[in-house]
A and B are shown apart, each in its own frame.
Chain A
Amino acid sequence: MITAERKPMEEIIGSVSPYRRILLVGCNECVTVCAAGGRKEVGLLASALKMHFAKEGNPVEIEEVTLERQCDPEYVEELLPRMDQADAVLSMACGCGAQEVARRYKEKPVFPAVNTRFMGASERQGVWAERCAGCGNCVLGITAGVCPIARCSKQLLNGPCGGSTSGKCEVDPDIDCAWQLIWDRLKALGMQERYEDNIPAKDWRTGRGGGPRRIVREDLAS
């Protein structure tokens, strides 16, 4: 999923303070799962903002909505009846959702209330970690199911570097060394000999190197 974290309160307050009627829009997908911008977080942020501005003697109206999927035009359309009443939109979805709202409602300023972080998975309750960098040409099949691009601090396709220590990355003892994980999995799979296949330089065109990416499915495109 796409992970996000709420921005610091001061920054959110700073961005919406010129506006009195705010449409606060959450999303029911990834940001709900990582507890950053679902219905619950929308409620909490709305009360915090109302309280703050009321205390300042400058009350705001906040309309709360949580869409099924904020990156989907079909659901974003549902905001239409409420747009007239809003001076600005505060989005709690990932950057994709916030941009979809901005694209649809050209005349409304849209502010992000979260920082979109990475594509990751939940490691345990309350902890998420990066897993995929969306390189567009997945090599997990030759790296024993552990991504060296997203999970090695130096993005080494032929690691480990000389700093790997007791399973941890030289950059931070809280980071597992991706190449230690790859090696452990290769061993568990009895595929040690695969380690010595030199992985060639990557063609980054399928990733960000090729500029903004699109997928066109002729069979589905209308």
Chain B
Amino acid sequence: MKTESTLEKILAAGHLAVTSECGPPRGALPNKVKEKAELLRGCVDGINVTDNQTAMVRMSSLAACIIIQNMGLNPILQMVSRDRNRLAMQSDIIGAYSHGVDTMLCLSGDHPRFGDHPMAANVHDIDSIQMVDMVRNMRDEGKFQGGEKIDGSPKMFIGAAANPFADPFELRVARLAKKVKAGVDFIQTQCIFNVDKFEKWMEGVRERGLHEKVAIMAGITPMKSVGMARYMKNKVPGMDVPDEVVQRMAGVPKEKQSEEGIKICVETIQRLKEVEGVRGFHIMAIEWEQKVPEIVERAGLLPRPVV
């Protein structure tokens, strides 16, 4: 074991892991964090806490992680390279670990163009792959990125994202290989609606034996309505929603669409359970956290193992 992370233990024991996420509030409202996290108690092994997601200012991931940690749950600190240079990142990482946060996710982040501060400067001192390498070095070598020794190194279980649906497709396995080389422990993928394409990507992953070096968690998002399906298809960069999925959502009356969305999501999990190399699920129920327990239950992923 590299860390004390519950997620690491679950994966090491060979269970299918389950994570979900909680977007912190856009204001100093700690109770909002608690309410959202409480919904996930008992049905996930880790809760991703987003970092100024979609480039909108929110309560910091670190602060919300501490709130969740204090509730006896397992937060996963998300960190984007957009907002912090390597000094700020490293100080937040040791700060988070000092509060018991032992799992994190390294991302580059959405461009400010998409958020509510399009006038902000982009930092991007290092990229997500370099961030993985930095955190691994902090943990395994006990060294800061600048080379000096850390007095009390943070033992982080290190995650990153992968998007099998972005272009060029032929690079998507190779980029994962770069993250593996940098030392990533687990991957949470982009939301999977195009299961065929995901399976094709996984084939490439297995061909190179990458599934044995990194735990791949399949990203799952329930759709509330056909409107949301269309929006994700047309407006969200790097999202692949096939026409059949949109049509299936459109094919049921409005009041039944959210149930159809949950059904699709449960079926997707069932299908992906059979894919060799899929080690768990990351359920991103955007502003719909209350549905996560039901999805996890219907997908046969309850009760969560105790490790």
Q: Knowing A155-B124, A201-B86, say if A160 contacts B129 (CB, 8 Å).
A: no
A160 close to B168 (CB less than 8 A): yes
Interface size on B, residues (CB 8 A): 36
Q: Smallest distance from the beta carbon of B125 to chain A beta carbons, Å?
A: 7
Complex: chain A residue closest to B123, CB-CB: A155
- Assembled-state Cα–Cα distance A198/B113 (Å): 27
A155 close to B122 (CB less than 8 A): yes
B167: contacting residue among A164, A171, A172, A196, CB under 8 A: A164
Q: Is the interface of A mostly helix, strand, loop or mixed?
A: loop
- Assembled-state Cα–Cα distance A170/B278 (Å): 28
A201 close to B134 (CB less than 8 A): yes
Interface status of B133 (Cβ within 8 A of chain A): yes
B127 close to A159 (CB less than 8 A): yes
B-chain residues with CB within 8 Å of residue A158 when the two chains form the complex:
127-130, 175, 178
- Assembled-state Cα–Cα distance A198/B128 (Å): 11
A-chain residues with CB within 8 Å of residue B190 when the two chains form the complex:
162
A196: contacting residue among B122, B124, B165, B174, CB under 8 A: B174
Interface status of B126 (Cβ within 8 A of chain A): yes
Query: Which residues of chain B from 107 to 136 have any CB-CB distance to chain A below 8 Å in the complex?
Result: 108-111, 113, 122, 124-130, 133-134
- Assembled-state Cα–Cα distance A177/B171 (Å): 13
Interface status of A7 (Cβ within 8 A of chain B): no
A162 close to B171 (CB less than 8 A): no
- Assembled-state Cα–Cα distance A164/B237 (Å): 7
A-chain residues with CB within 8 Å of residue B195 when the two chains form the complex:
none
B-chain residues with CB within 8 Å of residue A156 when the two chains form the complex:
108, 124, 127-128
A164 close to B166 (CB less than 8 A): yes
Interface status of A75 (Cβ within 8 A of chain B): no
B-chain residues with CB within 8 Å of residue A199 when the two chains form the complex:
130
Q: Knowing A162-B163, A180-B167, A201-B134, say if A154 contacts B124 (CB, 8 Å).
A: yes
B168 close to A198 (CB less than 8 A): no
B171 close to A195 (CB less than 8 A): yes
A-chain residues with CB within 8 Å of residue B178 when the two chains form the complex:
158, 196, 198
Contact with A along B209-231 (1 / 0, CB 8 A): 00000000000000000000000
Complex: chain B residue closest to A186, CB-CB: B171
Interface status of A204 (Cβ within 8 A of chain B): yes
- Assembled-state Cα–Cα distance A201/B106 (Å): 14
Interface status of B238 (Cβ within 8 A of chain A): yes
Interface status of B82 (Cβ within 8 A of chain A): yes
A-chain residues with CB within 8 Å of residue B109 when the two chains form the complex:
154
A-chain residues with CB within 8 Å of residue B175 when the two chains form the complex:
158, 160
Q: Smallest distance from the beta carbon of B187 to chain A beta carbons, Å?
A: 12
A163: contacting residue among B133, B145, B238, CB under 8 A: B238
A180 close to B174 (CB less than 8 A): no
Interface status of B77 (Cβ within 8 A of chain A): no
Q: Knowing A156-B124, A198-B182, A204-B125, say if A164 contacts B130 (CB, 8 Å).
A: no
Complex: chain A residue closest to B170, CB-CB: A183
B171 close to A160 (CB less than 8 A): yes
B113: contacting residue among A160, A171, A201, CB under 8 A: A171
B238: contacting residue among A154, A162, A179, CB under 8 A: A162
Q: Smallest distance from the beta carbon of B134 to chain A beta carbons, Å?
A: 7
- Assembled-state Cα–Cα distance A196/B109 (Å): 22
- Assembled-state Cα–Cα distance A167/B171 (Å): 13
A163 close to B166 (CB less than 8 A): yes
Interface status of A153 (Cβ within 8 A of chain B): yes
B-chain residues with CB within 8 Å of residue A160 when the two chains form the complex:
166-168, 171, 175
A-chain residues with CB within 8 Å of residue B161 when the two chains form the complex:
162
A164: contacting residue among B124, B125, B127, B238, CB under 8 A: B238
A-chain residues with CB within 8 Å of residue B111 when the two chains form the complex:
153-154, 163, 170-171
Complex: chain B residue closest to A166, CB-CB: B167
Interface status of A140 (Cβ within 8 A of chain B): no
A167 close to B124 (CB less than 8 A): no
Most A-side CB within 10 Å, residue of B111, B126, B127? B127
8 interchain residue pairs of minimum CB distance = A162-B163, A170-B237, A163-B237, A158-B129, A155-B124, A201-B130, A162-B238, A156-B127
* Residue contacts A-B, CB under 8 angstroms, 26 given: A153-B111, A153-B113, A154-B122, A154-B127, A156-B124, A157-B127, A158-B127, A160-B166, A161-B238, A162-B162, A162-B165, A162-B166, A162-B190, A163-B110, A163-B237, A164-B238, A165-B238, A166-B167, A167-B167, A170-B111, A170-B238, A198-B129, A198-B178, A198-B181, A201-B126, A204-B125
Please give 4 more A-B residue pairs, beta carbons under 8 A apart, in addition to A153-B122, A154-B122, A167-B167.
A155-B127, A162-B238, A170-B237, A171-B113
Chain A positions near chain B (C-beta within 8 angstroms): 153-167, 170-172, 177, 179-180, 183, 195-196, 198-202, 204
